[in-house]
Amino acid sequence: DAGVIQSPRHEVTEMGQEVTLRCKPISGHDYLFWYRQTMMRGLELLIYFNNNVPIDDSGMPEDRFSAKMPNASFSTLKIQPSEPRDSAVYFCASSLWRGSYNEQFFGPGTRLTVL
Amino acid sequence: GESVGLHLPTLSVQEGDNSIINCAYSNSASDYFIWYKQESGKGPQFIIDIRSNMDKRQGQRVTVLLNKTVKHLSLQIAATQPGDSAVYFCAEMGSYGQNFVFGPGTRLSVLP
H or E, element range at B89? strand B86-93
* Interface touch B98/A109, C-beta < 8 Å: no
Closest to B43 (Cβ–Cβ): which among A42, A102, A109?
A109
A102: chain B residues, CB-CB within 8 Å: 98
**A78, pLDDT greater than 80:** yes
Q: Are A18 and A76 in contact (CB under 8 A)?
A: no
pLDDT band at residue B8 under the 50/70/90 scheme: confident
* Interface touch B43/A48, C-beta < 8 Å: no
Q: What is the mean pLDDT of residues B5-23?
A: 87
- Say if strands B86-93 and B106-111 run parallel, antiparallel, or are unpaired: antiparallel
Q: Is A25 on the interface with B (CB under 8 A)?
A: no
Between CA A93 and CA A77 the distance in angstroms is 13
Cis omega before residue A54 (within 30°)? no
Between CA B1 and CA A52 the distance in angstroms is 31
The larger pLDDT score, comparing residue B96 to residue A92, is at A92
What is chain B's alpha carbon radius of gyration, rounded to the nearest angstrom? 14
Q: pLDDT (tens digit, 9 = 90+) per residue, A10-62?
A: 999 999 999 999 999 999 999 999 999 998 888 888 999 999 999 888 889 88
Q: pLDDT (tens digit, 9 = 90+) per residue, B52-108?
A: 889 999 999 999 999 999 999 999 999 999 999 999 999 888 655 565 788 889 999
Between CA A89 and CA A79 the distance in angstroms is 13
The DSSP line for A41-69 is TEEEEEEEEETTEEEE-TT--STTEEEEE
* Interface touch A31/B3, C-beta < 8 Å: no
Q: What is the mean pLDDT of residues B34-60?
A: 92
